[in-house]
Structure 1
Amino acid sequence: MMDLIHWFDLLGVMVFAISGTLIAHSKHMDGFGVVVLATVTGIGGGTLRDIILDVPVFWLHDTSYFVAIFGAILICILFLNSHRGLPKQMLQVADAFGLAFFAVMGVQKALNIGMPDTTAIIMGVLTACFGGLIRDVLAREIPLLLKGELYAITCIFGGIVYTQMLNWSFSVETAMLLAMAVTLALRLLAMRYNLILHIFKYAD
């Protein structure tokens, strides 16, 4: 079980590192800028989660996370240098996959140390969203978290699905896969149909 969680964690880091690399490409950053954006996107949310939970930061004694980040960067560089243009919405699709992985992994990390469901869901949202928030701020973009289609809400929904399935005695593997699928599907549907949580009324 721990091996499965670790592999999902690495996969989430890779996907978010890809989204950071894509942003760096769109902003014409140099090699160092690419590494910085990919790294903060890949491990920023999990780092904040572990600091808040007062547990050892997950990447300090495990270099496989940096191998995953640099592998993702290399794949992106090879792809982007061999193609003239950036596929439409590639960044947001990569980001959606990262959300799905990290929202659930963040919840699981909190549950592992005895946090209640509500706290665990909040930790899932932080894990999934904070790295992308840092990425967008560094790239001088309005963070995806704060604009446009449903973003953090998809993580909350995925966290609820995950915790409730565990409470209903589903296996961890089944709950994890279904919660990730629900989070990803909801985010992709929000992007496809421009689903937005409207609060204010605007003239236009």
Structure 2
Amino acid sequence: MTSDYFHFLNLIGVAFFAVAGTLLGYEKKVGGFGIVVVASVTALGGGSLRDLLLNEPVFWVADQAYLYSTYGATIIAIIFIRYLPHVSNYYFLLIDTVGMAIFNIVGIEKSLIEGTGMLIAITMGTTTGIFGGLIRDVICREVPSVMRGEMYASACVAGGLAYGALFYFGAPYIWCILGSLFTTVFLRMGALHWDWQLKFFKKRYRQ
């Protein structure tokens, strides 16, 4: 049952990130096959890096269902945008956030399956969650969200800590997922809505 949940989460995360990549590509006026490239690197980039770091077969090479999910979600998003071209940026942000939160969980779980400690798993979850979006933003000539002052990677870390705490106290598997998902989405969307920022350094002014 756990493996079924894991596979389902991975497919959903890939689909959400493919849609997010398509929406940003549309906003940046990426044309033709470029949209598919942006969607694909967004959906597959983070998981590919995770598997390489864990010395595991790259997930979409081992199971082509992830490519079906990526391309299917991309095509659906293209059709949706074609008939509803005035898509609010809010939808991109929400879909990107949910995709990031799901990939964060998938990264944690795959690391734990491979026998890593929880600290490494949380780090791997954050890497999985943010790397695809980072590549997407660079390709689209955006300042990557992870490089801005807004909460992005920190929301992933908080979601990972929530997962780790629930796991440590023996919470049911589904509650570990929901706790991490809610924490990541709430912090990320709350930061966008209320301008929450995590600042480590104070700005110095010249006299």
TM-score using structure 2 length: 0.94
Q: List, as ranges, runs of 4+ consecutive aligned residues in structure 1 with deviation greater than 3 Å.
A: none
Within 5 Å, which residues of 2 pair with 1:1-204? Answer: 1-198=2-199, 199-201=201-203
Letter in 2 for 1:200: K
Q: Kindly tell me: are residues 88 and 135 of structure 1, through their superposed partners in 2, closer, same or farther at Cα, counting changes over 3 Å?
A: closer
CA distance in 1 between counterparts of 2:204 and 2:109 reads 40
Percent identity (aligned): 37
CA distance in 1 between counterparts of 2:11 and 2:84 reads 26
CA distance in 1 between counterparts of 2:170 and 2:198 reads 32
Q: Deviations over 1:81-136 (max 9, x none)?
A: 11231213221111111111011110111011110111101100100000000000
TM-score using structure 1 length: 0.95
Q: Kindly tell me: are residues 116 and 58 of structure 1, through their superposed partners in 2, closer, same or farther at Cα, counting changes over 3 Å?
A: same
Letter in 2 for 1:179: S
SS at match of 1:59: helix
CA contact (8 A) 1:165 1:175 kept: yes
SS at match of 2:61: coil
Q: Deviations over 1:19-71 (max 9, x none)?
A: 10011111211221111110100010010011011111111121111111111
SS at match of 2:70: helix
CA contact (8 A) 1:148 1:194 kept: no
Letter in 2 for 1:13: V
Report how far residue 193 of structure 1 moved: 0.5
Report how far residue 202 of structure 1 moved: 6.4
Letter in 1 for 2:180: A
CA distance in 1 between counterparts of 2:204 and 2:87 reads 33
Letter in 2 for 1:104: I
CA contact (8 A) 1:43 1:131 kept: yes
Q: Deviations over 1:126-151 (max 9, x none)?
A: 00000000000111110011114200
CA distance in 2 between counterparts of 1:172 and 1:64 reads 24
User: Comparing 193-202 with 116-125, which one deviates more in the overlay?
Assistant: 193-202
CA distance in 2 between counterparts of 1:124 and 1:31 reads 32
Mind listing any 5+ residue stretches in structure 1 that lack a counterpart? none
SS at match of 2:58: coil
